[in-house]
Chains A and B, each alone.
Chain A
Amino acid sequence: ETGVTQSPTHLIKTRGQQVTLRCSSQSGHNTVSWYQQALGQGPQFIFQYYREEENGRGNFPPRFSGLQFPNYSSELNVNALELDDSALYLCASSLGGGISGADTQYFGPGTRLTVL
């Protein structure tokens, strides 16, 4: 059984650029959640995808968007990057979602994004 994987590991972008981060969920999981973790802080919920539909969103602007594919892998896209977007972006997969909420979430290693 493979765990949650994310790519790339590290990324450096400049202000105004766009970035796409990728996540492969753990085998058998149909729900993916994305979190932003600024340095020295706890992760903040960005959004969740369940069966290819957005299933909840945190307090992030529309320039943060996502997709989930039929194999349940997911992408996080961030447009018009700002300096404050520099953070570790974590993906978590779980089984469940929908009305009843998601089961325990298992995290990937993260993508470290630096915006210059």
Chain B
Amino acid sequence: GNSVTQMEGPVTLSEEAFLTINCTYTATGYPSLFWYVQYPGEGLQLLLKATKADDKGSNKGFEATYRKETTSFHLEKGSVQVSDSAVYFCALRGAAGNKLTFGGGTRVLVKP
């Protein structure tokens, strides 16, 4: 079946540091890939997505590129802010599927 593996947190950074969160997946065919963010006490917000190989999703300074050859969708941001402190989830939706399969989440803490 489909699965998503994310790097474990917490990841602690200083403001303006570079952030990378690794995400790899296992799926048949060509899944769609997503990053969601969850702030404390809230639901999930879609951060970005990519639906085919080599697509780059971007939003709010975050980027991730769909790499089929390495089955990866790593999230990056060049300069983090305290307000980026949250839990980040990588997810996939199978090519013919309807459900999202999530990774375990990575907690990011940005200190001033």
Contacts and interface: CB of A to CB of B under 8 A. Distances in A.
Contact residues on A (Cβ < 8 Å of other chain), bracket: 20 to 34
Given A41-B104, A90-B44, A56 B98 contact: yes
A42 B112 CA distance: 28
A116 to B, nearest CB: 21
Contacts of B91: 42
Nearest to B36: A107
A2 B42 CA distance: 17
A42 B104 contact: yes
Contact residues on B (Cβ < 8 Å of other chain), bracket: 20 to 34
Interface string B13-36: 000000000000000000000101
Contacts of A113: none
Interface string B69-112: 00000000000000000000101011111111111110000000
A55 B43 CA distance: 23
B43 A108 contact: yes
A50 B98 CA distance: 10
Contacts of B95: 101
Interface of A: 4, 6, 31, 33, 35, 40-45, 48, 50, 55-56, 58, 90, 92, 97, 99, 101-102, 104-110
Interface of B: 4, 34, 36, 42-46, 49, 89, 91, 93-105
21 contacts: A33-B99, A33-B100, A35-B100, A41-B104, A43-B100, A45-B100, A45-B101, A48-B99, A50-B98, A55-B98, A90-B43, A90-B44, A101-B95, A101-B98, A104-B34, A104-B46, A104-B49, A107-B36, A107-B43, A107-B44, A110-B42
